[in-house]
Structure 1
Amino acid sequence: MAIESQDKAKAYWQKNVRLMITLMVIWFVVSFGCGILFVDELNQFQLGGYKLGFWFAQQGSIYTFLAIIFFYAWKMRQIDREFDVDE
């Protein structure tokens, strides 16, 4: 890693951890919240012929996880460039 100073390394790690925590909270809310906790409220609506709560439990959390993976890779590339640690 091409980080020279401890302060810069600490700032890089803090940004990385903050991003991971934010994305994990989003995934938790979508998978656990929409698929389990708020399922009764969401089942009042339909998506593609299925109740929305069921859809989130079966498909929505998977799509959200895939979107989070791509967003994380894109955002980490920006953070790596910001701290001059990209390849």
Structure 2
Amino acid sequence: MDENEAERARAYWRANLRLVGSLLAIWFACSFGAGIVLREWLDQWRIGGYPLGFWFAQQGSIYIFLVLIFAYVVLARRIDRKFGVED
């Protein structure tokens, strides 16, 4: 592997790790932030008959995680195309 290919591979993995880190930060903010830290404040609203903070802790973070999985697929494909990486 020549120097140009090595730098391209490092840039690819930096972009991939940045994407994963961003998505994990969003999930952490939703699950920990909304489900634990902001729970009492969010409990003033209800969704499906349950306080919103409780809902985030029990269901919301799972739904957010599923959305983030699909977002990762779409965004990772963009990164793959940008760097010319094939399956």
Tell me which protein shows more helix as a share of its residues.
2
TM-score after normalising by structure 1: 0.92
TM-score after normalising by structure 2: 0.92
Does residue 1:27 correspond to 2:34, yes or no?
no
State the match for 2:81 in structure 1.
81
Question: What is the aligned length?
Answer: 84
State the match for 1:57 in structure 2.
57
State the match for 2:8 in structure 1.
8
Structure 2 unaligned blocks of 5 or more: none
Question: Secondary structure of the residue that 1:62 maps to in structure 2?
Answer: helix
Q: 1:37-52 maps to which residues of 2 (within 5 A)? A: 37-52=37-52
Give the percent of matched residue pairs that are identical in Structure 1 and Structure 2. Answer: 52
Are the equivalent residues in 2 in contact too, given 1:77–1:86 (CA < 8 A)?
no
Segments of 4+ moved more than 4 angstroms: none
